[in-house]
Amino acid sequence: MKSILISKQDKILKGTISLPASKSISNRLLMIRAMSGKDFCISNLSDADDTRLLQKLIALVSVGPGRKNVLELDAANAGTVMRFLTAWLAIKPGKWVLTGSERMKQRPIGILVEALKHLGATIDYLAKPGYPPLLITGSFLSETEVTIDPGVSSQYTTALLLLAPYLPHGLILHLKGRNVSTPYVEMTIRLMEIFGARIKAGKTRIHVKPGTYNPSEYMVESDWSSAAFWYESAVFADEVDLELEGLKFESLQGDSILPVIYQNFGIRTEFTHTGVRLTKVHKKIDGFYFDFTDYPDIAQSVIVTCAGLGIRGRFEGLKSLQIKETDRLRALKNEIEKLGIKVVVTDKGDAMPALEISASKPVVKSGIAFETYGDHRMAMTMAPMALKLGTLKILNPDVVEKSYPQFWEHLKVTGFEIA
């Protein structure tokens, strides 16, 4: 297996980083553009693998099944691609097989499929019920109302919302259960409204009126989720003066909460005309608690931040982490325990799982090899530990292509050595 060796001989973090564009915004915009049928300009579109893949599959759908009658589309390990296309293909004339990687075939999609079937969709499971691959026959969706459990993945809700204006009578979506990743649903609604959708949204009911998306040029903001690894690095450094370009104070992204979280660790965030500037004051902290229900994509960075500091931590709202590119809770436990720190994952059936770490200074052992489990965020989360360990190894480093292809080069800009 390919690996890289990361080292940092000093604890100085300085430089200017141009963060990648938001993958979450980019993928939603691609779906809005595809459904509109109009080719409007999206500036600063993400160059992440997931976004490139979605572009490719949308292009294939636009051509159609052709003489094959059935067109197979491979979503690989991209959750948004699988879920957004499942909803869109339900109304696209033709027959479509939507599949993915072996891990994707273990990630549930039954909640979304059953909601679409209730609306009138024709979708069959080709293997295990509730999971990809799917056979989708594009059809007329006549029903107007559906109830969905938003407590597993916000992407199910988003997929239905993005489709909703193109249903004959719009959609009334009832949300039953505890919402997760609410900011991502709010992002979807805001983008839909920018492009002309008429929506009335409450906590348990969202009404989308029938209509179309109006073409309009749009510039994608930089990705707050990707900033998490730099905030983590700033905590581990002794001296910090780091500029992260492209981040906005008034952001569509829920992960813009990072400055609030990391001020607890002594990281100061100054908003500038180009982004943010991070500096540091040394601050003593004995423990940290946080509920990540609305912010799952930054959970790994915050948890490893606490582990690297050797402080106790308790983290809740982690249920959606179990169905990501890997089971991120088990992955975190495995990798953090390599530092000699005890990790307890509490998962009692349908209860929201929690993760706790003990107050124990990490064992400083140069050259520890960290697994990435095919998960881009695991790779980028463990890399900043080089500031603590001096040298570490990352296995399968190419996984960062999924969301932040320039990550390893950006580490070099700030003085990390990579071999």
Q: What is the pLDDT of residues 17-74, one digit of tens each?
A: 999 999 999 999 999 999 999 999 999 999 999 999 999 999 999 988 877 789 999 9
Which active-site residues does the annotation give? 297
Domain residue limits, the chain: 12-20+222-364, 23-219
Q: Which of these, 44, 120, 116, lies nearest to 87 by C-alpha position?
A: 116
φ, ψ of residue 55 to 5 degrees: the values are -55, -45
Q: Are 310 and 359 in contact (CB under 8 A)?
A: yes
Euclidean distance between CA atoms 31 and 80, whole angstroms:
10
User: Taking CA 68 as the corner, what is the angle to CA 67 and CA 70, rounded to the nearest 5 degrees?
Assistant: 130
Q: Look at 141-150, 235-244, 302-311, 358-367 and tell me which has the smallest mean pLDDT.
A: 358-367
Q: Rounded to an integer, what distance in angstroms lies between the CA atom of residue 167 and that of residue 182? A: 23
For 395-419, the pLDDT digits (tens) are: 999 999 999 999 999 999 999 999 9
pLDDT at 194: 97
Task: Say whether 297 sits in a helix, a strand or coil.
Answer: helix
| pLDDT digit string, tens, across residues 251-269 | 999 999 999 999 999 999 9
Sign of CA dihedral 291, 296, 298, 300: positive
Beta bridge partners of residue 357, listed in sequence order: 313, 343
Say how many C-beta atoms besides its own lie within 10 A of residue 351's C-beta.
9
Residue 325: its pLDDT value, please? Answer: 78
d(CA 337, CA 331): 10
Q: Are 12-20+222-364 and 23-219 in the same CATH fold?
A: yes
Average pLDDT over all residues of the chain: 94
| Tokens (6 digits) for 119 | 């609306």
Instruction: Tell me the C-alpha to C-alpha distance, in Å, between residue 23 and each of 29, 72, 220, 239.
Output: 10, 24, 9, 30
pLDDT category of residue 349 using cuts at 50, 70 and 90 = low
CA-to-CA distance for 78 and 100, rounded, in angstroms? 8
Q: Please determine, for residue 347, whether its predicted confidence score (pLDDT) is greater than 80.
A: no
d(CA 27, CA 33): 10
Q: CA–CA separation, 224 vs 345, rounded Å?
A: 27
* Cα–Cα distance for residue pair 258/267, rounded to 1 Å: 10
Fold adopted by 23-219: UDP-n-acetylglucosamine1-carboxyvinyl-transferase; Chain (3.65.10)
Q: What is the pLDDT of residue 287?
A: 95
* Mean pLDDT confidence for 223-238: 98
**Is pLDDT of 213 > 90?**
yes
Give the whole-angstrom CA distance, residue 306 versus residue 228. 13
- Please give the pLDDT value at position 236: 97
pLDDT in tens, 279-327: 999 889 999 999 999 999 999 999 999 999 999 999 998 888 787 778 8
DSSP E strands in 19-84: the ranges are 42-43, 70-74
Q: Which CATH number fits domain 12-20+222-364: 3.40.50.1820, 3.40.50.300, 3.90.1150.10, 3.65.10.10?
A: 3.65.10.10
pLDDT at 139: 93
* Residue pair 138/121 in contact by the 8 Å Cβ criterion: no
pLDDT for 350 equals: 52
Which tokens belong to 222? 């930089």
Determine the pLDDT at residue 351. 61
Q: In this predicted structure, what is the pLDDT of residue 31?
A: 98
Q: Helices 154-163 and 182-194: crossing angle, nearest 10°?
A: 20
Helices (H) and strands (E) in the chain, counts: 13, 22
- Residue type (1 letter), 190: R
H or E stretch including 61? helix 49-63
Reported as type and span, the H/E element at residue 28 is: helix 23-36
Q: What percent of the chain has pLDDT over 90?
A: 88
- By residue count, the chain amounts to 419
**Which of 139 and 348 is assigned the larger pLDDT?**
139
What's the average model confidence in pLDDT over 205-234? 97
Helix extents (H) in 237-292: 258-262
Nearest to 26 by CA among 60, 49, 3: 49
| pTM greater than 0.85 | yes
Could you tell me the pLDDT band of residue 153, with boundaries at 50, 70 and 90? Answer: confident
Residue 346's pLDDT is 87
